[in-house]
Every structure is written in C-alpha cells, then in structure tokens.
Amino acid sequence: MMDKGLLEEAAKRAGVELTAAMLEQTICYVDLLREANRKMNLTSIIDDEPVARLHFEDSWRAAAHIPQGVHLIDVGTGAGFPGMALALVRPDLRVTLLDATLKKVKFLQEVTGQLELDRVTAVQGRAEELGRTGSFRDQFDLALARALTALPVLVELCLPFVKAGGCLIAMKGEEDETKEAARAICLLKGSLERVVHYSLPGTDKPRSLVLIKKEGPTPSSYPRRMAVIKKAPL
C-alpha cells in the first residue's frame, strides 16, 4: 500500500490541504494504477517516493492557480496526471480527462467508477480534432497539459478548448519555452499572464507553470491537422 506520509508531505509542499477522505481516495487510485500497470504500460514511475513527488506533488502544484468551481480539461492526461490527481483534492472542480489512447481512457473510467467521482469524465479523442467540434471548442474555463509537447504546439492544441477569459496552464520543465511560443500565443488569441517556477525535492532541474490567458475566440482555422502542425509549427 502507498505510504500515506509521503503523500501528506507532497501535499504540504504543494500547498494542498489533504483531508483523510482525500488521502484514502488517492491511495486507492495508486492501487488501481499499479494493478493496471501490470497489464499495460501506463507509467514507469511506480515506487512510493517518486509517485508521491513526481506524479502527485508535481500535479498538485497547479492547484493554487485554479479558481474555485471551474470546468477544466486535461489534454493528454495519460494515466491521469495532473487531472485525476487534482480532482481528488479539489472536489469543487469539474474535470474532463482527454487522451487519444483507448486503454488509458478505459482505465480512467474504471477509476472514476470505483471512486465514485461523478464530476470527472474520461474521453478518448485527439485534441486537434475535438478542438474543432462544438461540444468541446470554447467550452472550458481552463485547460491543463503536462509534459505533452513543445509549447507552440501545445498552445495550438489546447487554447481552442478554452472560453474567452479562461486560462491555459502548461506544465513545463526547466525551459518554459515562452519565447518560442510568443507567435502561437498571439495567433490563438492568448496572452502570457505569468510563469511560475518551482522545484521538486531530489531533482536538480526546476519546473515551471506557464499561465496563458484566453483573450478572445480562437480563429476558425485552428487547430490545424496534426500533419500540418508538425510540418509547420507556429
């Protein structure tokens, strides 16, 4: 079973108030993740200490920058980081977990069912396709993406989901890539709000949260097809 103390320490460092119920649900999530990971490759990080630090603490660092009661989409959620990790400690949020891989989405649907997380939905799809559909485009207060792709590409994939006045939080590494993404941010009708730098215990490279405000509707030509995005990134 996951070490409770490590999760409590990770939450404290991230500024998250972890109740007993939240802690138990988080441990159940880890148990389900480890069980599923024996059958399919969901994550290479499975030991207690790195799970607490690299998965949960890193995900929870975004919590302080997410307003109360918003509907957020986690683009490229994988095994549920950061979206599921945040949903467990922020029950006020409505969370949509988006991933292109069916086995990952089925795992997340199992988790939401077993933990009775009725405000969390897992959806299979590609961001560049769903970002053009009426049921997803301009529908979210906030988009999140963690270690997904280069920031110019990430902005094109994620900002179309966000309502005007909403926000994208891009979780990046030591290099926040804001200079490279300046053109993409402008074209997608965003503006760089700020960059928050932080570090995780036991790592020698700082991490960053890039906060981008959605100023107006994204032009209808975006997002482009992935083949075009890869060939000619903004």
Q: Is residue 222 within 8 Å of 156, Cβ to Cβ?
A: yes
The reported pLDDT for the residue numbered 174 is 83
For residue 4, the model assigns a pLDDT of 95
CATH number of 67-231: 3.40.50.150
- Whether residue 1 contacts residue 27, with contact meaning beta carbons closer than 8 Å, is answered with yes
- Report residue 80 CA to chain centroid gap: 8
What is the predicted pLDDT for the residue at 195? Answer: 96
Listed by start position, the domains of the chain span 67-231
Q: Tokens standing for 77?
A: 């959620």
Spatial distance between the Cα atoms of 233 and 213, rounded to a whole number of angstroms: 20
Among 7, 136, 25, 135, which residue's Cα sits nearest to residue 74? 136
Beta-bridge mates of residue 169: 144, 211
Residues of the chain short of pLDDT 70, as ranges, are: none
pTM: 0.95
pLDDT digits (tens, 9 = 90+) for 160-176: 999 999 999 999 988 88
Q: How many CB atoms lie within 10 A of CB 116?
A: 8
At a CB cut-off of 8 Å and minimum separation 6, what does 165 contact? 213, 214
The CA distance from 142 to 162, in Å, is 6
